[in-house]
Structure 1
Amino acid sequence: MGNFTAKKVQSLIRDGAPGRYSDGSGLYLMIPKKGAPYWMHRYTLAGKRRELTLDKCANLSLAEAREQAGEARKGIRNGADPIEERKREKRVAIHTVKELFSDWHQDLEKRLKHPNIPKRIFEKEIAPSIGQLTLDSVSPMDVRAIVRKVASSGRPAIANDTLMYLKQLFNHAIKLGLLTYNPAAAFNVNDAGGIEKSRDRALTLDEIRHVFQVFRYNHDSFSRDNYLACALLLVLGVRKTELTEAQWSEFDLKKGRWELSGERSKTGTGIVIPLPPQAVGWLEELKIRACGSPYVFPSRRSSKRPHMGKDTLNRAIAKLFGKEPGKKPQPENRMGDMAEFTVHDMRRTCRSLLAAAGVPGHVAERCLNHKLKGGEGVYDRYDYFNERKEALTMVAELVEPAIKEAQETRLES
């Protein structure tokens, strides 16, 4: 028997004098200066003194505390450390697919630049179907149903990504010893979105003229912000979100410079982008349209994000091709019989126009903020700024008539 009685414990708790009170055999009643009284078991293992918190006195009676301390002593005699055992129990407390993803996502946050991409796909495409299932109850049929559903919604690339993340997720479970096989392992891209073709779409000058005319004719659905964003993407060759999430603090319009930080650049390396006069003019108009917002393209809808959304431009362009996800019937195709293009094709078009203008390859690659390989990767401290300014100005002069003509056509109509 120990030193305590239930009455003695209640008396000590009621008095509230901070301290450590021994019941014997390593069990202590702990009364802290702040917080609730609790039970603690002290023990020595491999020459080291350790302390195992059992529970608050409000949740654990004297008899129960003695029982838990006895179990701990039994484990210690068998060479087990109760503190490490408790940690192990916490680690294996992964029962559902959702709990598995939470554990896996902690690893992704450490090693991925954009861990929110797999999180978004999990929450939207995977969790509604199998999030609450226990790991051992997920079957290959569940996996097939998920990827088929995504593929049938007309999003082959997302279907492939969904399958990829399912494979990685269940591989994580195998690493932890929670599963012995991966229910997604036998599937490949042919079961999801199919092999994705590498795109090489670049618009010709005639197509650019046609596209901007269509943009202007349909200004009710294709806003002026969208119009100017496409013009800037075409002339500057930057990535979509680098432009649509830009803030005015990055720009010096008087000097014609845009300082894109490494945090916002896909390469992780900052770059100063020279702005041709045409781009400066479009940005000055956007500054007025921003109405004091710190963002070049502020959100025009009441949403959580303060700037233009990631899908806004692509959805607006797709709508003009007669495609609007989630809508029945589909809108009229206003682009005619020209081949479809995406926002990223504007960047590819800029690269094509740079080549057409005779710009050297290494300068054109730096215009698109591509890292140069080998010896070319060691460039001077100006990073070809003047050469890039001259090159982008040539592109702006090539496309400006098409963009301006579209504006004038709209004004005349």
Structure 2
Amino acid sequence: MTKRRGRHPDKALTAVQVRALKVPGRYADGNGLYLVVDPSGAKRWLLRTVIQERRRDIGLGGLTLVTLAEAREKALSYRKLAREGGDPLAERRIVRVAVPTFAEAVERVHAENAGTWRNAKHAAQWRNTLRQYACPELGERTVDRIDTPDILRVLTPIWLEKPETARRVRQRIGTVLDWAKAAGFRQGENPVAGVTKGLPKQTSAIEHHEALPWAEVPAFVERLRQTKGEMVRLAFEFLILTAGRTGEVLGARWSEFDLDQALWTVPGARMKGKREHRVPLSAPVLILLEKARALGDGDGDGLVFQGRRPGESISNMALLMVLRRMQVAVTAHGFRSSFRDWAAETTAFPGEVVEMALAHKIKGKVEAAYRRGDLLDKRRPLMRAWCQFAGGDAGQTNE
């Protein structure tokens, strides 16, 4: 049983405390109202009161749907009804809100998390994977009637054939059902928790972010320049020379660049860490950008690396296909590791400068608190040296 962690009855919860509470348990707000934090992290409201001489617990809904003020208002109305001899539970059954289907829940979770997606493409992928793989089996079923065997039927056909996709589908189904429990639409454990026990072991583990040894990067860049598809090639070389993340590069817009200052400012909304990141641009990178502008429409707010359709960026798959054609068993993201190893093994640049270039969070709360700048001036010679090593003469690009 979950250990209760309450507060003194005279000390009501505050909205700040409600958002900050993480440890599983039951937290008192006073007058029988509690905030329950489940082991999964979901939060819900509970009213403990006496109904017709019997102590009863009444769920008031999850925190995502019911605010602190609304929970207090509901609790007050139920206590008044109980004092007058009524039965709040019976009344609530009469006006019970319809339980959504899984397909409806997917749309609601997707909409409620609209401000948290890293980019539009990630948001679309999250919803589309559930529509494609989960909704054919679960879509018309209400979320309170979904159990482990149902999820097993979704995952079994793709568990070995598409292991990485299957793991993502499993995680996303779990997110939807966590929301359903927090919203008061289902009870008990999330059925996703035990589904793996009924699935075969995935023997072919996926190697994430496999990196090219740093010494082989110049030869790779030289070969890259001979591949077909100039815009894709430019995007890939830009990614390598800036040590950027794939999503940040492919989503880059001209409005983020100050070419006079040789600076690319990635807004926090597009960064993994949700913090603005400034990238110094060396001369070879500026040449790559000139070529990209000549190939695109040069719109002041348009995408730098445009795909085949107007307004769409190059896809991650385009970079993957380049690697497959070159028969190099690495990932685009892995070139960040190549950059990190090169800097550590062949240069004297301080580690914190290299970490800043990679937009990594500073380890250690004290150091992070005192370091307000981003070491931009110290990163400029680092990136020039990397471009020189990697063969960053964009003018050599051939069609």
Please give the range of the TM-score, normalised by the shorter of the 2 chains. Answer: 0.5 to 0.7
Displacement of 1:183 in angstroms is 3.5
* 3-state SS of 1:132 partner: coil
Bigger Rg, structure 1 or 2: 1
* 3-state SS of 2:342 partner: helix
2:253 to 247, 251, 256: 247
Classify 1:95/1:263 alpha carbon distance in 2 versus 1 (closer, same or farther; 3 Å).
Answer: closer
Distance 1:368 1:391 in 2: 12
Alignment partner of 1:96 is 2:104: no
Distance 2:392 2:253 in 1: 28
Displacement of 1:384 in angstroms is 1.0
The TM-score, its normalising length taken from structure 2, stands at 0.66
Q: Which runs of 5+ in 1 are unaligned?
A: 1-74, 321-333
- Percent identity at matched positions? 22
CA deviations on 1:137-158 (whole Å, 9 max, x unpaired) are 545333223223333443x222
Displacement of 1:284 in angstroms is 1.4
Distance 1:257 1:109 in 2: 29
Please identify, of 223-232 and 108-117, the stretch whose mean Cα deviation from structure 2 is larger.
108-117
Displacement of 1:100 in angstroms is 3.2
Alignment partner of 1:151 is 2:159: yes
CA deviations on 1:324-354 (whole Å, 9 max, x unpaired) are xxxxxxxxxx42xx5x111111222222222
Task: Read off the aligned partner of 1:367 and give its amino acid letter.
Answer: A
Displacement of 1:367 in angstroms is 0.3
Alignment partner of 1:262 is 2:251: no
1:362 and 1:376 in contact (8 A); partners too: no
Q: Aligned ranges for residues 180-259 of structure 1 at < 5 Å?
A: 180=188, 182-188=190-196, 191=200, 199=208, 201-204=210-213, 207-219=216-228, 223-259=229-265
Distance 1:111 1:263 in 2: 9
What's the counterpart of residue 384 of structure 1? Answer: 375
Q: Which runs of 5+ in 2 are unaligned?
A: 1-81
CA deviations on 1:41-62 (whole Å, 9 max, x unpaired) are xxxxxxxxxxxxxxxxxxxxxx
What's the counterpart of residue 384 of structure 2? Answer: 393
Task: Read off the aligned partner of 2:224 and give its amino acid letter.
Answer: F
What's the counterpart of residue 45 of structure 1? Answer: none
What's the counterpart of residue 361 of structure 2? Answer: 371
What's the counterpart of residue 169 of structure 1? Answer: 176
Q: Aligned ranges for residues 4-43 of structure 1 at < 5 Å?
A: none
What's the counterpart of residue 77 of structure 2? Answer: none
1:209 and 1:402 in contact (8 A); partners too: no
2:243 and 2:339 in contact (8 A); partners too: yes
Displacement of 1:394 in angstroms is 0.7
CA RMSD of aligned residues (A): 3.6
Distance 1:243 1:200 in 2: 16
2:100 and 2:142 in contact (8 A); partners too: yes
Alignment partner of 1:295 is 2:285: no
Distance 2:254 2:110 in 1: 33
What's the counterpart of residue 63 of structure 2? Answer: none
Alignment partner of 1:132 is 2:123: no
What's the counterpart of residue 346 of structure 1? Answer: 335
Distance 1:345 1:393 in 2: 20
1:94 and 1:100 in contact (8 A); partners too: no
2:109 and 2:176 in contact (8 A); partners too: yes
CA deviations on 1:77-102 (whole Å, 9 max, x unpaired) are 974789x8599523xx1242223334
Classify 1:383/1:184 alpha carbon distance in 2 versus 1 (closer, same or farther; 3 Å).
Answer: closer
What's the counterpart of residue 308 of structure 1? Answer: 314
2:239 and 2:245 in contact (8 A); partners too: yes
Displacement of 1:395 in angstroms is 0.4
Distance 2:256 2:241 in 1: 18
1:163 and 1:192 in contact (8 A); partners too: no
Classify 1:97/1:192 alpha carbon distance in 2 versus 1 (closer, same or farther; 3 Å).
Answer: farther
Distance 1:201 1:113 in 2: 23
What's the counterpart of residue 22 of structure 1? Answer: none
Distance 2:166 2:201 in 1: 5
* 3-state SS of 2:264 partner: strand
2:174 and 2:190 in contact (8 A); partners too: yes
Displacement of 1:387 in angstroms is 0.8
* 3-state SS of 1:259 partner: strand
Distance 1:388 1:247 in 2: 22
Distance 1:113 1:246 in 2: 13
Classify 1:110/1:397 alpha carbon distance in 2 versus 1 (closer, same or farther; 3 Å).
Answer: closer
Task: Read off the aligned partner of 1:258 and give its amino acid letter.
Answer: W
* 3-state SS of 1:167 partner: helix
Displacement of 1:243 in angstroms is 1.3
Distance 2:193 2:144 in 1: 15
Displacement of 1:373 in angstroms is 2.2
* 3-state SS of 1:273 partner: strand
Distance 1:234 1:168 in 2: 34
